[in-house]
Structure 1
Amino acid sequence: MAGKEELSYSEAIAAAGDAFHRFPLIKIQGVPLMCPIVHNWDSIWAFRPDPSDLLIATYPKAGLSLLKKMDPPRVIKTHLPFKLVPEGFWKNKCKAIYVARNAKDNLVSYYHFDRMNLTQPEPGPWDGYIHKFMNGELAWGSWYDHVKGYWEEREKRNILYIFYEDMKENPQREVERIMRYLDLSLADDVISRIVELTSFKTMKENPMANYSFILKPVFDQSISPFMRKGVVGDWTNHFSPAQTQLFDEDYKRKMKDADIPFRTDI
């Protein structure tokens, strides 16, 4: 989660330079997390948000990466699965937005991120990475459990569940959905400006969004940019027919009890 611990951690890795290294994963309630997060787990779990705080949750590389640290009301980002989100968010009835991306594109994006992010475990070859994703062995755990956990709780917890593909297809419509969920009323020109500033092209050129300020020993963007393509359907450039068949069969088994309307193209 974004907060004091993460800020101190970011400052630490920026200062670490060449001495920095890939962290091993340690499980919390069966979910593999990076060890600095695990070492701070007590303070993370004890976090008590203000009722006015907004939680934005995603599986890694699923969108909405911008944050601001401020006094309440705050925007707080997390990659934690639902079961690991501090209970204070739900006790205080905080609003939450969950952004989900289709599994194949999410997998491709996460693979390239792990190649350039020198703090997470070495991703290894593409074929093996597919199996790690399917088995929930990557940092932050299973994509399947992640997307299903928030989906199943969305009505009970008043979670706005939105899809990356919908944002790419019609960003204004999705911005307006978020506006209504937050009980806001914005002028059309303000909405248009939000759509412009949150476009992939604009964010790719924004140092606060493209993470170009992070040192190369941490994020080596010569390997792959933090903001790479941002398109829907890029998975077709990575999956072989055999990998597609294997993945689709596994996906069908894992998602048979969920009716989440994912799209792999638009």
Structure 2
Amino acid sequence: MLYVRQKFIDVLEKAMEDGKKMSPEEKLFTYDGVVYPTTLCSPKVFKAMESFEARSDDVLLSGYCKSGTNWVGQVVTDLVVTSTKKHEPHKLNEKLLLAEFPYFEIGDTKKYERMNTYPPRRVMFTHLRPDKFPETFFKNKAKILLLIRNPKDVATSFFHFSNTFTAYPPYDTFGEFFSALMIGKMPWGSYIEFLCTWNKYIDKENVLPVTYEEMKEDTVTGAKKIAEFLELNLNEEDIHGVAERSTFKSMKENAKTTHGEMFGKILFRKGGVSDWKSLFSEENNQEMDAIFQKRLAGTKVGEKIKYDVYCKT
């Protein structure tokens, strides 16, 4: 099942064209202590976002940039659509489901007014830290999926993406990129800070943590876990169908249709695990290992990462 989000395509292609005319410094701005991309976000939209009223049946997928949100977002959207088509077809409006840019914090100042008129279920993605969400996501107990990926693979994927996605500042070397990432001078801020902040929210009853690695290892089991959390009545055949439609190979082959000619060809690169070994120097490894040990070792988010399995040479 192909989900063609025309708004997604239009916004990203414009961001890439605008980015070509900007200096690296112009491509970033800081709001409330976090760095964001100028071509996609704005203070006015962030201000408008504060009035958003989340619902208990909303679905929000939260993951840092290049942690797999486009891929897992496909799984989540397909699960919701499959369940609604099967049990409540009168409630399904695919046009409205795909009408907005799926990332919650990206759009125009009227986006949230429009979304307040949309029927359930609203499926949204975000790169925001949880302390930057409108408080109603937690107050009204919307269903929140926390997507975690090991930080070394995030860094590697983000580096390659930054050098092809013209809305973001490019980097001549991985070392230069790594230094900026570690201090949060990066679109969406610091990944380590993103993970640390989530430690304050991970135990809430409306939050389900899933990892990129477990989803790659067994997409069927991962999709079933998500479906149960979202209280979707799906059988094994339904779950297998969703998993098959969301393979990396399938999504990459269809990317130009689903994500546009410009963005589609750069979005899906490898989609694997442990690609960081091709880029990380010994110095990079030591720095990441030290910051993980200091900030995340022994925490619930840190345990989910399985650092010794996925981030050790």
TM-score range normalised by the length of the shorter chain: 0.7 to 0.9
Residue 240 of structure 1 deviates from its aligned partner by 2.0
Residues 86, 210 of structure 1: CA spacing in aligned structure 2 closer, same or farther, 3 A cutoff? same
Residue 116 of structure 1 pairs with residue 190 of structure 2: no
Q: CA contact under 8 A between 2:159 and 2:177: conserved in structure 1?
A: yes
1:162-200 Cα offsets, whole Å, 9 max, x none, are 000111111111111111101122121111111111111
Note the 1:1-266 alignment, pairs <5 A: 11=10, 14=13, 18=17, 20-21=19-20, 22=22, 23-35=26-38, 36-39=40-43, 40-65=45-70, 66=74, 68-69=97-98, 71=118, 72-207=120-255, 211=259, 213-215=260-262, 219=263, 221=265, 225-256=266-297, 258-259=299-300, 260-261=302-303, 262-263=305-306, 265=309
Could you state the TM-score of these two structures normalised by the residue count of structure 1?
Answer: 0.85
Q: CA contact under 8 A between 2:19 and 2:168: conserved in structure 1?
A: no
Cα distance between partner residues in 1 of 2:52 and 2:13: 25
Aligned residues: 254
Q: CA contact under 8 A between 2:223 and 2:243: conserved in structure 1?
A: yes
Residues 82, 124 of structure 1: CA spacing in aligned structure 2 closer, same or farther, 3 A cutoff? farther
- Bigger relative contact order (CA 8 A; separation at least 6): 2
Residues 263, 194 of structure 1: CA spacing in aligned structure 2 closer, same or farther, 3 A cutoff? same
* Deviating more after overlay: 237-246 vs 186-195: 237-246
What is the DSSP-based 3-state SS (H/G/I as helix, E as strand, rest coil) of the residue aligned with 1:116?
Answer: coil
Computed over aligned residues only, the root mean square deviation of the Cα atoms, in angstroms, reads 2.6
Q: Structure 1 stretches of 5 or more lacking a match?
A: 1-5
Residues 209, 86 of structure 1: CA spacing in aligned structure 2 closer, same or farther, 3 A cutoff? farther
Residues 171, 242 of structure 1: CA spacing in aligned structure 2 closer, same or farther, 3 A cutoff? same
Cα distance between partner residues in 1 of 2:289 and 2:15: 41
Residue 120 of structure 1 deviates from its aligned partner by 1.4
Residue 91 of structure 1 deviates from its aligned partner by 2.0
Cα distance between partner residues in 1 of 2:41 and 2:299: 30
Greater helix percent: which structure?
Answer: 2
Q: Structure 2 stretches of 5 or more lacking a match?
A: 78-96, 100-117
* Deviating more after overlay: 244-253 vs 131-140: 244-253
Residues 220, 231 of structure 1: CA spacing in aligned structure 2 closer, same or farther, 3 A cutoff? closer
Could you state the TM-score of these two structures normalised by the residue count of structure 2?
Answer: 0.73
Residues 130, 197 of structure 1: CA spacing in aligned structure 2 closer, same or farther, 3 A cutoff? same
Residues 196, 10 of structure 1: CA spacing in aligned structure 2 closer, same or farther, 3 A cutoff? closer
> What percentage of aligned pairs have identical amino acids?
26
Residues 195, 51 of structure 1: CA spacing in aligned structure 2 closer, same or farther, 3 A cutoff? same
Residues 233, 44 of structure 1: CA spacing in aligned structure 2 closer, same or farther, 3 A cutoff? same
What is the DSSP-based 3-state SS (H/G/I as helix, E as strand, rest coil) of the residue aligned with 1:11?
Answer: helix
1:207-254 Cα offsets, whole Å, 9 max, x none, are 26873x153xxx494xxx311111111111111223222322233223
Residues 162, 151 of structure 1: CA spacing in aligned structure 2 closer, same or farther, 3 A cutoff? farther
* Deviating more after overlay: 119-128 vs 66-75: 66-75
